[in-house]
């Protein structure tokens, strides 16, 4: 199969090219998935496929905090997100999630934007971004639009992005100083592990010790990213104790079955999802058992 | 024992610098001017008749140089170390998804791959058999006309039934083991060239260049002398490159086109087409007396060799030989079946059938100790083989036996001594720790009844250095560094004055395989004989130079000395110059034939062995009771390699072996359903990474010198990956009280076992 390769230096150049070649272009945002897919691609296509590598566009790689909004350029690598002082300060669970991606090589190539648009149900950055109620800015020659992360996905590996659009940035309101968070992941090994289950927990605890706000987003057990409202409700307004936390964790397992049904792996995944959520809530609250 | 200058010292690998600098060219790095690129068309079905192969469209594609099918194989269309039952290119039937149907040579790799898509093959799918026990039934589809049972082994001694009646404790279980992948870093790859006289040279990672030469010659119908095979360096092998991989395809391409050729296959193709470890189902019943003496062992082992035999026959024999562990057992009833299925071919793999049965028998032993309230180390000491004992097959342990030495060193290890203290401190309340111990022995060499020999050459070079040649390839195990050390001590020179030639039929004599924990023992012994002959030749020249009688010469370090007049000396370098001036050379050869056991088992070859390496390994694990995940926190590995030629090389083998055995115990399995491989690359085939390794692996070398070995050496390449697997599963029991009878003991399996235990 013949591939064309282009590496635009600016956003304008990229979107101009895409508007011309939107039917046969594929965006390269780190190539950690595209390369694998290309190797197994069937040859003998009529039109050459254009690979549009946007990782070299300097204006797409940044992490900053302004007026309480954290903005991450789509081409910021997992490594850079994981090392960002801003992220460590306002949302350390996102740094943990990005640090759990693949291996050092993959984290140095792969980008947060690539992770989002690839839309794998097991994507590591999505649970914390979902818990943070992140929003996305998409841009094309026609202009730009903003969508909520949760509205971006249509299903596994499916999103609403148009073929002539690129993801410019992901942004979210920096959580309150009083908030706490945790990300936990279960893989089949310690590194280079695709998540079998993961969970991101973001809590706000008021002065009386009650949970005033809760946000819980699991990964790898739902077809697309989403928060578990019943679990969040189980925690909100409560002083966290063993029973409350268990109840919230049970809701995650129940939601998993409600959405994905009972599968061969459910017998293992349901109790383990509960256990993982429980530990993540306690970890966010400062009780780390690992 | 002879005093040594190099043997027993930590010596940096001779290939280390080139490897870390990236300067070493592996087979996949080679390219030749004007070469074509090859690609192999694999089967579309796990079991089917081939009705028609049409290569017309592929041949018409621009850039395609040749498209070859079974009709283009000039000699025997088959290969296989034991029997040539695997077609080079299938003509009438395919038996697994890795079967080769056609071969393309093209101007580029991309064109070759594109041409594969244009080859039209008409198949008539046949019912398939994927379960080896079902394959044994009369009603099963036949993979081969000759029947699905490729090999049957049955050994009986004493009276097991009487022993089961008398015994204080009897344990009976069924075990199953996975299809482990060799996962060498370099997938099968190579290049080849042909000259105007049709002499073919093939560079391709392998483990026995002279056997590759014969297999290629047989398929081409050519004189083997016209074929040169270079196997060194291979980017890892572990048994997975013992059989023919691409050698014949490379030869066919150069033969039919007259141009050099290269083939590098992808990881995915390697996973589907390449060899694996035999999955086995093991039924085992073991009896012991009240004091822990093993009275009897009954085993029935069914081994899945996949579509073709390769070394499946010898592997089941080896498994039976090792199925009672490294222990004395007087009453045995051992039966093994090697069965064809439509799964991926299984063949040689580090451990060669010992891994599977050792997992079973070492678990049985722990269960017996548990029932008797006996210590896990004590029961092993009680039954451990000692020199002079009669082993399970009725053969006497005539050679060195180091098992007790490894058990004692294991007992004195830090991990064993402070185990209770370490177990008491898990890293979290929901995690539980346990300790496990297991032993193994591993037959070295090819065993009784198979020709096992090796040759070495030494040449005094004009500059005073020595070129040594041994054909056992360097597959990453470090044998070339050990050969250099052995040679320097036998020749009496510096290791810096040795030039090593390895794995090349053009420059080395046949030394046999780099398999079966045999290359150091074989090559070392051949070097010893070659050095004696070399010294004779050097003495003759030295006598001439020093004007003394030939029998007056003594060989010292780097020089020859007159015994009667010790001030008369001449250096090897001067001797080399003298010889060169006379237009002569000093070359010597050493030919070594393996000793074998006195016991002959009628009807069987390859068993029993005379020499064994021994090993005890300990694992400290931590089991997460919420997820079922097992982490190996620490391990101790106590091998008896005989003399450790290069102790840091033994440590390297030991650490790599521990991690390979850990992957086998916890995560690794090539999953094939209905003939289709589901774990096609390393994202789903779960190899341990550096972060999964135990935080600490202590290797304690327990040398029990073998009098017949070079400086007392035996072999250690395989044993190091064997008992660690049951040590880990035994540790899981110690931690959380569940016996894992199926490996890999994945998180789900451990979690399910924990739940089932709660219920009962």
Question: Residue B222 is part of a domain; what is its CATH number?
Answer: 3.90.1170.50
Question: Domain boundary residue among A119, A148, A173?
Answer: A173
Q: Is residue A200 part of a domain?
A: yes
Are the beta carbons of A268 and B113 separated by less than 8 Å?
no
Q: Starting from the edge strand earliest in sequence, which strands make up the sheet with B559-562, in order?
A: B553-556, B559-562, B569-571
pLDDT of residue B449: 94
Do A146 and A190 sit in the same domain of this protein?
Answer: no
- A290 lies within 8 A of chain B by CB: yes
Mean pLDDT of A93-114: 97
Dist. CA B534–CA B490, nearest whole Å: 10
Spatial separation of the C-alpha atoms in residues B274 and B658, rounded to whole Å: 23
Whether A274 and A213 map to the same domain: the answer is yes
Q: Does B218 touch chain A (CB under 8 A)?
A: no
Question: Do B509 and B432 share a structural domain?
Answer: no
Cα gap B168→B290, rounded to integer Å: 5
In a domain, A211, yes or no: yes
Q: Are residues B489 and B582 in the same domain?
A: yes
The DSSP code for A168 is E
B152 part of a folded domain: no
Same domain, B588 and B604: no
Band of residue A55 on the pLDDT scale cut at 50, 70, 90: very high
Q: Is the CB of residue A194 less than 8 Å away from at least one CB of chain B? A: yes
Residue B282 contacts by C-beta under 8 Å, 6 or more apart in sequence?
A: B174, B175, B176, B177, B299, B300, B301, B302, B323, B356, B357, B359, B360
Q: In this structure, are residues A179 and A144 in contact, taking their beta carbons and an 8 Å threshold?
A: no
Q: pLDDT tens across A8-22, in order?
A: 999 999 999 999 999
A142 and A187 assigned to the same domain: no
Residues A140 and A237 in one domain: no
Determine the average pLDDT of the residues in B65-69.
Answer: 98
Say if B170 falls within a structural domain.
no
What value of ipTM does the predicted structure carry?
A: 0.93
Total domains present in chain A: 3
**Strand, coil or helix: B221:** coil
Q: Which of A53, A68, A91 is the last residue of a domain?
A: A53
Q: Tens digit of pLDDT for each residue in A189-235?
A: 999 999 999 999 999 999 999 999 999 999 999 999 999 999 999 99
| Residue among B109, B268, B626, B684 with most chain A CBs within 10 A, to mutate | B626
| Of B239, B264, B289, the domain-final residue | B264
**Same domain flag for A187 and A169:** no
To the nearest whole angstrom, how far is the Cα of A257 from the nearest Cα of chain B? 18
Cβ-nearest to A268 among B430, B683, B751? B751
Find, among B494, B507, B522, the residue nearest to B459 by Cα. Answer: B507
Specify whether B713 is located in the same domain as B618: yes
Q: What is the CATH number of the domain that holds A9?
A: 3.30.43
The count of domains in chain B is 3
Task: Domain of residue A231: give its range.
Answer: 179-284
A198 and A279 within one domain: yes
Which residues of chain A have a CB within 8 Å of the CB of B748? 265, 268
User: What residues of chain B lie within 8 A of the CB of A272, using their CB?
Assistant: 626-628, 751
Q: Which of B117, B692, B748 sits opposite A43 (nearest CB)?
A: B117
Judge if B122 and B194 occupy the same domain: yes
Pull the structure tokens for residue B272.
């589907």
Residues A168 and A183 in one domain: no
Percent of chain B with pLDDT over 90: 99
Residue A290: inside a domain? no
B146: nearest Cα among B313, B343, B326, B376: B313
Q: What is the mean pLDDT of chain B?
A: 97
Element (H, E) at A253: helix A242-260
Based on the fold, state whether residues B226 and B341 are members of the same structural domain. Answer: no
Burial label, B464 (beta-carbon count in 10 A; 0-12, 13-18, 19+): middle
Find out whether B330 and B157 touch, Cβ atoms under 8 Å.
yes
Predicted confidence band of residue B2 (pLDDT cuts 50, 70, 90) = low
The answer to whether residue A35 sits within a structural domain is yes
- CATH number of the domain within which A105 lies: 3.30.465.10
Pairing, β B453-460 against β B431-443: unpaired
* Cis? peptide before B233, omega within 30° of 0: yes
The answer to whether A289 contacts chain B (CB < 8 Å) is: yes
Query: Degrees (nearest 5) of the Cα angle B512, B518, B524?
Result: 85
B266 contacts A188? CB cut-off 8 A: no
| B286 within domain boundaries | yes
3-state class (DSSP) for residue B111 = helix
- Give B521's contacts (C-beta < 8 A, 6+ positions apart): B444, B445, B611, B642, B706, B709, B710, B713, B714, B715
Nearest chain A residue (CA) to B682: A192
Pair (B606, B534) in one structural domain: no
The closest of B108, B107, B104, B89 to B58, measured between CA atoms, is B104
- With b for 16 or more beta-carbon neighbours within 10 A and e for fewer, the B542-572 pattern comes to bbebbebeeebbebeeebbbbeeeeebbbeb
Judgement on whether residues A198 and A239 belong to the same structural domain of the protein: yes
B268–A contact, CB cutoff 8 A = yes
Residue A84 lies in a domain: yes
Confidence of residue A45 (pLDDT cuts 50, 70, 90): low
d(CA B335, CA B317): 9
pLDDT at A46: 57
Read out DSSP for A194-227? Answer: --SEEEEEEEEE-TTS-EEEEEEEEESSSSS---
- Answer whether residue B348 is part of any domain: yes
Q: Which of B681, B688, B684, B682 is nearest to B664 (CA)?
A: B688
| A-chain residues near B691 (CB < 8 A) | 189-191
Residue A289 lies in a domain: no
The answer to the question of residue A157 being in a domain is: yes
Q: Pick from A140, A173, A206: which residue ends a domain?
A: A173
**Are B308 and B237 part of one and the same domain?**
no
Q: Are B692 and A43 a contacting pair at CB < 8 A?
A: no
Domain membership of residue A193 (yes or no) is yes
Residue B58 lies in a domain: yes
Residues of A with Cβ-Cβ distance to B427 under 8 angstroms: 290
- Report the pLDDT averaged over residues B307-324: 98
DSSP state of B417: H
- Same-domain check for residues A67 and A44: no
CB contact under 8 A, B688 and A42: no
> Are B442 and B492 within one domain?
no
Q: Say whether A40 and B268 touch across the interface (CB within 8 A).
A: yes
% residues pLDDT > 70 (chain A)? 96
Name the residue facing B667 among A188, A191, A194 (closest C-beta).
A188
Beta-strand runs (E) in B402-452: 431-443
Between A35 and A86, the higher pLDDT residue: A86
Question: For residue A41, is pLDDT > 90?
Answer: no
Q: Residues of A with CB below 8 A from B430's CB?
A: 275, 289
- pLDDT on residue B758: 87
User: Which of B264, B293, B321 is at the close of a domain?
Assistant: B264
The answer to the question of residue B37 being in a domain is yes
Exposure of A216 in the CB half-sphere (CA atoms within 13 A) = 30
DSSP alpha helices (H): ranges in B29-73? 56-60
pLDDT at A49: 86
> Could you read off the pLDDT of B211-270 as tens digits, one per residue?
999 999 999 999 999 999 999 999 999 999 999 999 999 999 999 999 999 999 999 999
Q: CB neighbours (10 Å) of residue A290?
A: 10
Burial readout A242-264 (b: 16 or more C-beta within 10 A, e: otherwise): eebbebbbbbbbbbbeeeeeeee
Position with higher pLDDT, A256 vs B201: B201
Residues 19-58 of A with CB under 8 A from B: 39-40, 42-44
CATH number for the domain that contains residue B358: 3.30.365.10
B760 touches chain A (CB under 8 A): no
Q: Which chain B residue has its CA at the smallest distance from A103's CA?
A: B689
CA distance B462 to chain A (A): 48
**How far is B427 from chain A, CA to nearest CA, in Å?**
6
pLDDT category of residue B760 using cuts at 50, 70 and 90: confident
Q: Which of A190, A267, A268 sits opposite B692 (nearest CB)?
A: A190
Q: Which residues form the domain of B506?
A: 453-593
Gyration radius from chain B CA atoms:
27
Q: Could you say which of B204, B233, B264 is where a domain stops? A: B264
What are the structure tokens assigned to B527, written together? 């070097």
Task: Verify that A269 and A165 share a domain, yes or no.
Answer: no
A194: chain B residues, CB-CB within 8 Å: 683
pLDDT at A44 over 70: no
My answer on whether B284 and B316 are in the same domain is: yes
Looking at the structure, do residues A161 and A186 belong to the same domain, yes or no? Answer: no
Considering the domain architecture, whether residues A21 and A97 belong to the same structural domain is answered as: no
What confidence score (pLDDT) does residue A265 get? 83
Q: Does A192 touch chain B (CB under 8 A)?
A: yes
Q: CB–CB of B213/B289 below 8 Å?
A: no
Question: Is pLDDT at A128 greater than 80 in this prediction?
Answer: yes
A105 Cβ under 8 Å from any chain B Cβ? no
B87 lies in the same domain as B210: yes
Torsion of CA B485, B491, B493, B497, to 10 degrees: -70
Exposure string of B255-269, with b = 16+ CB inside 10 Å and e = fewer, is bbbebbbbbbbbbeb
- Counting residues of chain B whose pLDDT is more than 70, the rounded percentage is 100
Q: What is the mean pLDDT of residues A173-178?
A: 95
Q: Is the pLDDT confidence value at B483 over 70? A: yes
Q: Give the pLDDT confidence score for residue A261 in this predicted structure.
A: 83
Instruction: Verify that B458 and B413 share a domain, yes or no.
Output: no
C-beta pairs of B388-391 under 8 Å, 24+ apart in sequence: B389/B328, B390/B328, B390/B330, B391/B324, B391/B328, B391/B608
């Amino acid at each position: 199969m013949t591939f064309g390769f282009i590496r635009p230096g600016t956003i304008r150049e990229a979107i101009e090219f895409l508007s011309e070649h939107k039917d046969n272009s594929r965006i390269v945002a780190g190539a950690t998935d595209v390369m694998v897919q290309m190797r197994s691609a069937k040859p003998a296509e009529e039109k050459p496929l254009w690979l549009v590598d946007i990782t070299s566009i300097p204006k797409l790689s940044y992490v900053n905090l302004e007026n309480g909004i954290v903005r991450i350029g789509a081409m910021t690598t997992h490594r850079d997100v994981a090392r960002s002082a801003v992220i460590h300060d306002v949302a350390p669970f996102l740094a943990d999630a990005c640090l759990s991606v693949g291996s050092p090589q993959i984290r140095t190539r792969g980008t947060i934007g690539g992770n989002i648009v690839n839309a794998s149900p097991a994507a590591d950055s999505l649970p914390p971004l979902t818990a943070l109620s992140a929003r996305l800015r998409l841009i094309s020659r026609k202009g730009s639009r903003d969508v909520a992360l949760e509205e971006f996905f249509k299903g596994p590996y499916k999103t609403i992005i148009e073929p002539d659009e690129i993801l410019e940035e992901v942004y979210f309101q920096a959580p309150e100083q009083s908030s706490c968070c945790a990300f936990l992941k279960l893989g089949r090994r310690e590194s280079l592990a695709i998540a079998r289950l993961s969970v991101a927990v973001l809590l706000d605890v008021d002065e009386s010790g009650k949970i005033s706000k809760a946000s819980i987003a699991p990964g790898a057990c739902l077809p697309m990213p989403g928060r578990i409202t019943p679990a969040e409700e189980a925690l909100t307004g409560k002083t966290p104790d063993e029973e409350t936390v268990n109840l919230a964790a049970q809701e995650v397992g129940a939601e998993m079955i409600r959405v994905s049904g009972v599968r061969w792996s459910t017998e293992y995944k349901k109790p383990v999802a509960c256990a993982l959520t429980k530990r993540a809530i306690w970890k966010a609250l400062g009780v780390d058992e690992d | 024992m002879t005093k040594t200058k190099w043997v027993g010292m930590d010596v940096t690998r001779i290939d280390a610098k080139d490897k870390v600098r990236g300067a070493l060219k592996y087979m996949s790095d080679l390219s030749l001017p004007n070469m074509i690129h090859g690609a192999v068309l694999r089967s579309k079905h796990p079991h089917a008749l081939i009705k028609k192969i049409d290569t017309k469209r592929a041949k018409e594609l621009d850039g395609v140089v040749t498209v070859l099918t079974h009709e283009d194989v000039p000699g025997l269309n088959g290969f296989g170390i034991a029997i040539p039952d695997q077609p080079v290119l299938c003509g009438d039937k395919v038996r697994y998804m890795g079967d080769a149907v056609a071969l393309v040579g093209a101007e580029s790799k991309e064109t070759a791959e594109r041409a594969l898509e244009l080859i039209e093959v008409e198949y008539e799918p046949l019912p398939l058999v994927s379960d080896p026990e079902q394959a044994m039934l009369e009603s099963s589809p036949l993979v081969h006309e000759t029947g699905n049972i490729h090999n049957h082994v049955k050994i009986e001694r004493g009276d097991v039934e009487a022993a089961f009646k008398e015994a204080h404790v009897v344990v009976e279980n069924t075990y199953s083991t996975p299809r482990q992948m060799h996962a060498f870093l370099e997938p099968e790859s190579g290049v080849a060239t042909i000259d105007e006289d049709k002499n073919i040279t093939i560079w391709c990672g392998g483990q026995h260049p002279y056997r590759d030469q014969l297999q290629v010659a047989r398929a081409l119908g050519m004189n083997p002398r016209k074929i040169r095979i270079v196997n060194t360096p291979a980017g890892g092998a572990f048994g997975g490159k013992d059989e023919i991989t691409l050698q014949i395809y490379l030869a066919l391409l150069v033969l039919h086109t007259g141009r050099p050729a290269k083939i590098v296959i992808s990881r995915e193709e390697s996973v589907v087409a390449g060899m694996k470890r035999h999955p086995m189902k093991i039924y085992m019943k073991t009896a012991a007396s009240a004091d822990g003496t093993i009275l009897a062992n009954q085993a029935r082992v069914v081994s899945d060799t996949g579509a073709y035999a390769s070394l499946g026959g010898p592997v089941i024999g080896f498994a039976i030989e090792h199925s009672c562990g490294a222990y004395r057992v007087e009453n045995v009833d051992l039966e093994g079946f090697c069965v064809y299925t439509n799964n991926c071919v299984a063949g040689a793999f580090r451990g060669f059938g010992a891994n599977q049965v050792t997992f079973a028998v070492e678990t049985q032993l722990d269960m017996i100790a548990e029932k008797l309230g006996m210590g896990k180390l004590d029961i092993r000491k009680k039954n451990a083989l000692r020199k002079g004992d009669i082993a399970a097959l009725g053969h006497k342990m005539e050679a060195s036996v180091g098992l007790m030495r490894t058990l004692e060193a294991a007992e004195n290890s830090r991990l064993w001594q402070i185990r209770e203290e370490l177990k008491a401190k898990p890293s979290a309340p929901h995690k539980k720790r346990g300790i496990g111990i297991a032993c193994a022995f591993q037959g070295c060499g090819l065993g009784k009844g198979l020709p096992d020999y090796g040759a070495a050459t030494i040449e005094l070079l004009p500059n005073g250095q020595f070129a040594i040649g041994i054909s056992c390839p360097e597959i990453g195990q470090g044998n070339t560094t050990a050969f250099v050390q052995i040679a320097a001590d036998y020749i009496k020179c510096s290791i810096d004055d040795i030039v090593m030639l390895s794995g090349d039929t053009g420059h080395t004599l046949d030394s046999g395989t780099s398999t079966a924990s045999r290359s150091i023992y074989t090559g070392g012994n051949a070097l010893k004989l070659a050095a004696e002959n070399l010294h004779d030749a050097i003495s003759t020249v030295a006598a001439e130079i020093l004007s003394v009688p030939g029998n007056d010469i003594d060989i010292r370090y780097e020089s020859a000395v007159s015994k009667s007049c010790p001030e008369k000396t001449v250096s090897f370098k001067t001797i080399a110059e003298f010889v060169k001036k006379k237009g002569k050379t000093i070359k010597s050869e050493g030919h070594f034939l393996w000793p074998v056991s006195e016991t002959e088992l009628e009807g069987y070859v390859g068993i029993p062995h005379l020499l064994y390496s021994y090993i005890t390994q300990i694992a400290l694990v931590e089991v997460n009771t919420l997820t079922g995940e097992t982490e190996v926190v620490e391990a101790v590995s106590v091998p008896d390699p005989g003399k450790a030629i290069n102790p840091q090389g033994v440590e390297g083998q030991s650490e790599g072996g521990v991690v390979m055995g850990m992957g086998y115990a916890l995560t690794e399995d090539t999953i094939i359903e209905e003939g289709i491989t589901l774990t096609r690359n390393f994202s789903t085939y779960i190899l341990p990474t550096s972060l999964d390794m135990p935080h600490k692996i202590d290797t304690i070398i327990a040398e029990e010198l073998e009098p017949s070995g070079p400086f007392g050496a035996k072999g250690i390449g395989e044993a190091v990956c064997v008992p660690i697997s049951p040590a880990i599963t035994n540790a899981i029991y110690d931690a959380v009280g569940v016996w894992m009878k199926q490996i890999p003991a994945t998180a789900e399996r451990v979690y399910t076992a924990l739940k089932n235990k709660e219920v009962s």
